[in-house]
């Protein structure tokens, strides 16, 4: 049964999202390092250390974003994707019916 949405467009959208996440990865890693360094400040009160730990755990949530991108990609029906690519090779033509 053919799908009514474009598998190629969803795949291309995930390519774009993944590219942006890759660009952000370096900055996010640097932010994590800086937050870990802040935790080592002398005489830091426990409540501040707890806040920094929470910040670090939130920064690490980027892995959930990567997992979500993978989940979307896995849910794209490969047969529909291949069929849509085949149709794209021959150009688009409106149906007469």
Q: pLDDT by residue for the chain (97 residues), tens digit each?
A: 678 899 999 999 999 999 999 999 999 999 999 999 999 999 999 999 999 999 999 999 998 999 999 999 999 999 989 988 888 777 665 555 5
pTM of the model: 0.72
Q: Over the stretch 57-79, which tens digit does the pLDDT of each residue have?
A: 999 999 899 999 999 999 999 99
Cβ atoms of 80 and 7 closer than 8 Å: yes
Nearest-angstrom CA–CA distance, 40 and 22: 28
- What is the count of structural domains for the chain? 1
Nearest-angstrom CA–CA distance, 93 and 38: 60
Question: Is residue 88 a part of any domain in this protein?
Answer: no
pLDDT at 97 (0 to 100): 55
Question: Is residue 44 a part of any domain in this protein?
Answer: yes
Question: Is residue 13 a part of any domain in this protein?
Answer: yes
Question: Is residue 87 a part of any domain in this protein?
Answer: no
Question: Is residue 46 a part of any domain in this protein?
Answer: yes
Give the residue numbers spanning the domain of 56: 7-77
Question: Is residue 39 a part of any domain in this protein?
Answer: yes
Nearest-angstrom CA–CA distance, 21 and 49: 28
Nearest-angstrom CA–CA distance, 85 and 50: 51
pLDDT at 91 (0 to 100): 67
Question: Is residue 58 a part of any domain in this protein?
Answer: yes
Nearest-angstrom CA–CA distance, 91 and 88: 5
């Amino acid at each position: 049964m053919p799908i009514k949405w474009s598998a190629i467009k969803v795949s291309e959208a995930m390519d774009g999202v993944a590219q942006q996440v890759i660009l952000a990865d370096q900055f996010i890693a640097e932010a994590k390092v800086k937050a870990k360094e802040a935790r080592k400040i002398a005489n830091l009160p426990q409540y501040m250390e707890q806040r920094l730990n929470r910040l670090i755990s939130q920064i690490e949530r980027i892995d959930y974003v990567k997992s979500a991108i993978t989940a979307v990609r896995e849910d794209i029906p490969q047969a529909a994707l291949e069929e849509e690519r085949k149709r794209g090779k021959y150009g688009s033509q409106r149906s007469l019916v």
